[in-house]
Structure 1
Amino acid sequence: MIVTSLVQTSVVVLATIFQASANRSTIQCGRTGASVNARVSGGSEPKSSEDWPWIVTLNTGPYLFNPPRSWNLGHDCGGTIVHAQWVITAAHCLDDENKKFPEVTPDFWTVTAGVFSRHVTTASVQRWQTKKVLRYIRHKNFRDEGGAQHHDIALLQLKTPFVFNNFVRPICLPYFRATNPGVHSRCKTAGWGITSENSKVYSLRLQEVQIPIINYSTCRLVYPNSVQRKEHLCGGEFYYGKVDACKGDSGGPLACELSDGSWYLAGIVSWGVGCGRKHAPGIYTNVRSYEQWVLKRIAYYSYKT
């Protein structure tokens, strides 16, 4: 009981410091810039980047945006802004094609926020904020077991902070807003990944889809040796399929909305079998279980820097 109490107290202290830092900006976490509030398989386009101000595109290639339609240049993974200088993504996004870590050193990565369409236009460029990465921190227990990822979470510290506005904002972490999302909670994911399992081309425009949360016992029936209660969240239309994240959406957010209209980061797009298949839900890293890990590293490296 004493150990549990100390852990809970440390989380509260770290969370308070983190929130105080975030509050220096007039922008509140988890609030979209839109007046009101679908890899995404079975999804649709949001109205604008204001609907997803916390989502970012991660890239290591020389071509940032508007690549030839047949190429997947300009986008590697998704990520989520949780602080002006910090982004959360999936640990496996930092591996190369042979699953070797790291693919490249931190300074090769670019992180761009405020993106809706990857087509280069004057209006969109004015909204984009592109930052270089100072360091990445991958969870030390991350492992890939035949495509099933465990502890699939990583942090990217940016060299310079984002400037928050209607198109670039942080999402809330679970501590400030909610516990684990329940079955059928209002949750969504978004990304620039492929929009069907057989596609080979990433989307040039951001796609979003609503993701029903599936209970742990049902998920274990499908993945009996891979899904762990504390590590993973399960989402999708279990009996019908069709809605899911897919290749190119990894690292992006599973965001859940509360009754007050605010959004929090419940999960990170991690792995699954195919895209939008029946009885094969998508698996997301359960952010709530890693919140202390996140807060400690942000606090330590922000001070160290």
Structure 2
Amino acid sequence: MMTAQVKEVIVPEGYEGFSTQYESDIALLDLVTPFSITDFVLPCCIDYDTTTSVLPAGDATVVGWGYTEKRLYAGVSGTPSTTLLEAHLPLINNRECRNKDDKFKPFVTYDKFCGLYQNSSGPQPGDSGGGVIVRNGDLYYVIGVISIKPTYSNEFGAFTSVGTHQNWIREAIRNHLRR
């Protein structure tokens, strides 16, 4: 497994975690040393022309080493995966997601879209911060970041939209490169 030291974590100014229902739950990592591109470590693009109002057709892919669905109790405990797992999820927009669950609705902030779990398979605790990836031709695009799911359900999860935060991403990169 490849690892890298993080020099700096760059977060939006308004991010305050749970107190704001994980609105703006996105960050950029400045690495001490960049990863080398290999057959197993490939770049992902950001499509600066995309917004959350138009989600790509087809499923998105998420990967992680978080807790597995096996032996989960109320979404909080379980068995951490020893291998990188992947799930393919149909996507739904913010409005559809907010209508899925009244108790979870406050966490589907303006910058979220959701993925529907297949056979209870999808991101679990420990997967937060991972990318939500789609393929377009030979290129892969990060369209979201794994954010939060209802602790009492394995039906769907909410993702922070890269498209909603594209101006912040550009500005953060621009400011960081000036240092």
State the TM bucket, normalised to the shorter chain: 0.7 to 0.9
Describe how 1:228-267 pairs up with structure 2 within 5 A: 228-229=109-110, 231-237=111-117, 242-258=120-136, 260-267=137-144
Seq. identity, %: 28
Q: CA deviation at 1:186?
A: 2.3
Q: CA deviation at 1:184?
A: 5.3
Q: CA deviation at 1:263?
A: 1.4
Aligned length: 170
Corresponding position of 2:163:
288
Describe how 1:173-184 pairs up with structure 2 within 5 A: 173-175=46-48, 178-180=50-52, 182=55
Corresponding position of 2:91:
213
| Paired residues of 1:184 and 1:214 also in contact (CA < 8 A) | no
Larger Rg: 1
Higher helix residue share: 1
| Paired residues of 1:267 and 1:285 also in contact (CA < 8 A) | yes
| CA deviation vs aligned residue, 1:202-258 (integer Å, no higher than 9, x gap) | 1110000001102332211224333233x1011114xx7612200110100110122
Corresponding position of 1:303:
178
Change (3 A) 1:273 1:169: same
Of 226, 235, 238, which aligns to 2:107? 226
Corresponding position of 1:269:
146
Of 71, 75, 79, which aligns to 1:201? 79
In the TM superposition, structure 1's runs of 4+ consecutive aligned residues that sit over 6 Å from their partners are none
| CA deviation vs aligned residue, 1:76-104 (integer Å, no higher than 9, x gap) | xxxxxxxxxxxxxxxxxxxxxxxxxxxxx
The CA distance in 2 between the partners of 1:179 and 1:150, in whole Å, is 16
Corresponding position of 1:171:
44
Secondary structure of the 2:150 match is coil
Describe how 1:39-118 pairs up with structure 2 within 5 A: 115=1
Corresponding position of 1:13:
none
| CA deviation vs aligned residue, 1:180-211 (integer Å, no higher than 9, x gap) | 45375221100000111335321110000001
The CA distance in 1 between the partners of 2:40 and 2:126, in whole Å, is 22
User: TM-score normalised to the size of structure 1?
Assistant: 0.51
Q: Which runs of 5+ in 1 are unaligned?
A: 1-114, 116-127
Q: Which runs of 5+ in 2 are unaligned?
A: none
Secondary structure of the 1:150 match is coil
| Paired residues of 2:65 and 2:81 also in contact (CA < 8 A) | yes
